[in-house]
A and B are shown apart, each in its own frame.
Chain A
Amino acid sequence: MWLKHDFFSGVRDVAPILLGIAPFGAISGAAAVGAGLSPEVAFGMSVLIFAGASQLAAVQLISGGASVLVVVLTAAVINLRFMMYSASLSPYLGKLPAAWKALAAYLLVDQAYALAVSRFASEEGPREEPESSRSRGLYFLGAGSALWVVWQACTAAGILLGARVPEGLSLEFVIPLTFMALLFPAITDRPTAAAALAAGLVAVAAEPLPLNLGLVTAAAAGVLVGMLAERKG
């Protein structure tokens, strides 16, 4: 009975989102073997790194003959956003036992963050109670595990079969639509609305920046504007 209701709420809520990550997983597996990596490395990468954008960049750089340092630094910069997510979730998950937090950290991908923070930020009630911390932890682990299983399965399929994702279907558009549905619950007042507006505008302007830096820049601008709006009241 330790797998209580909250774990499965996480699995249920993440279900439609899995549709968006499935083709991306297959593409990342197929790209790795396509670039000449062995199937073992391609799958090992997906388990050890578990972050699609940085995996694709690493594959491209390795096959282009880049040095270890360049590949590692590039991947680290692309994944800087996870530090932001970690900070953002710490008020909700910070009080859990260390082993839970380590597992949650391993599963902290964009979709798990977006789903969890959208739910946690819009819910009422005290953050401090151990019971609610546990329930949030289980919810996060449910969503994260489902994402993990589907991602690994699709990566394996991509490695073994190659990626034959039907192009006309534009399945990758599912991903921004997911984040869109999760955005509105996170807008709870004027400052959060101002933050979203500013971040959206800056993100469009900063999109040409390399290494996912547009996302970090836009988030920083949004936070700044949100805090100014808060101060004005």
Chain B
Amino acid sequence: MSAAGIWLTVIVIGALTFALRFSFLALFGRGELPGLLERLLVPLPAAVLAALVVPALFYTGGSLDLSLSNERLVAGGLAAVVAWRTHSVLLTIGTGMGILLLLQVVF
């Protein structure tokens, strides 16, 4: 691809990405959301967040690992208890990273 072609590609991706991000924020400013959409949005944050977390614990190096030798699963499971009890980002990161490093050093 030529230099101009690469710039064009980057600009078009940037514009499309912005359009996706702005879409609903731009459309639903003044009026209310349609009823069905509003109901769909209630469980969405919990669903998205769970989907961002869970695979990162069960997959290591691109393959599924359900065993206890999966360090991320063990560290993540213990961090989940801290996350549940404290809701603290800092304590959750501290617990998860601390246990992961410990397991990597020990085993």
Which residues of A are at the interface with B, using a C-beta cutoff of 8 A?
13, 16-17, 19-20, 37-38, 41, 44-45, 48-51, 54, 58, 62, 65, 68, 71-72, 75-76, 79-91, 93-96, 98, 101-102, 104-106, 108, 110, 113-114, 117-118, 121, 168-170, 173-187, 191-204, 207, 214-215, 218-219, 221-223, 225-227, 230
Contacts and interface: CB of A to CB of B under 8 A. Distances in A.
Interface residues of B, number: 70
A105 B26 contact: yes
Interface of B: 1, 3, 5-14, 16-18, 20-30, 33, 37-59, 64, 72, 75-76, 79-80, 83-84, 87-93, 96-97, 100-101, 104
Contacts of A49: 10, 13-14, 17
A207 B59 contact: yes
A95 to B, nearest CB: 6
Contact of A121 (B39, B45, B57): B45
Contacts of A181: 83, 87-89, 91-93
The majority secondary structure among interface residues of chain B is helix
A86 B21 CA distance: 6
